[in-house]
Structure 1
Amino acid sequence: MANVCEICGKGERSGFNVSHSHLKTKRTWKPNIQKVRAMVNGKVKQLNTCTRCLRSGKIQRAM
């Protein structure tokens, strides 16, 4: 499963772990992506969406 939201485009971000001695190592932050059945143009489609889009009501879930 891709780590990209199909609604807002939110994806993986990169940065550094910073220790107390200020040593830096690369790391990534991944969005919370869920596979959801949703209504798109009157049809049921399976989407990869982040939980922020689910919670804010940007998509309508299919039952």
Structure 2
Amino acid sequence: MARKCEICGKGVAVGMQISHSHIRTKRTWAPNLQRVKAIVNGSPRRIMVCTRCLRSGKVQRAI
């Protein structure tokens, strides 16, 4: 399962972690994804959605 929001497409970001002694190692930042039941094309479906989309009302939750 991809770590990507199905609404906005937000995914994993890659960068460098820099220690106090300036040793650089690669690391990732994953979005805060929640598995929610939402209305997609008129029918309820379980989708992975980031919390930013949930909070801003871009997702219509199904009961």
Q: In the aligned structure 2, how far is the partner of 1:41 from the partner of 1:18? A: 44
Deviations 1:15-61 (A, max 9, x none): 11111121101100000111110011221111111011001000100
In structure 1, runs of 5+ residues without a counterpart are none
In structure 2, runs of 5+ residues without a counterpart are none
Q: In the aligned structure 1, how far is the partner of 2:56 from the partner of 2:9? A: 15
1:57 equivalent to 2:60? Answer no
Counterpart in the other structure of 1:12: 12
How big is the alpha-carbon RMSD for the aligned residues of Structure 1 and Structure 2?
A: 0.9
Q: TM-score, normalised by structure 2?
A: 0.92
Q: In the aligned structure 2, how far is the partner of 1:16 from the partner of 1:55? A: 29
- Identity fraction in percent: 62
Describe the SS at the equivalent of 1:35.
Answer: strand
Q: TM-score, normalised by structure 1?
A: 0.92
Describe the SS at the equivalent of 2:6.
Answer: coil
Describe the SS at the equivalent of 1:54.
Answer: helix
Runs of 4+ aligned structure 1 residues displaced above 4 Å come to none
User: Size of the alignment, in residue pairs?
Assistant: 63
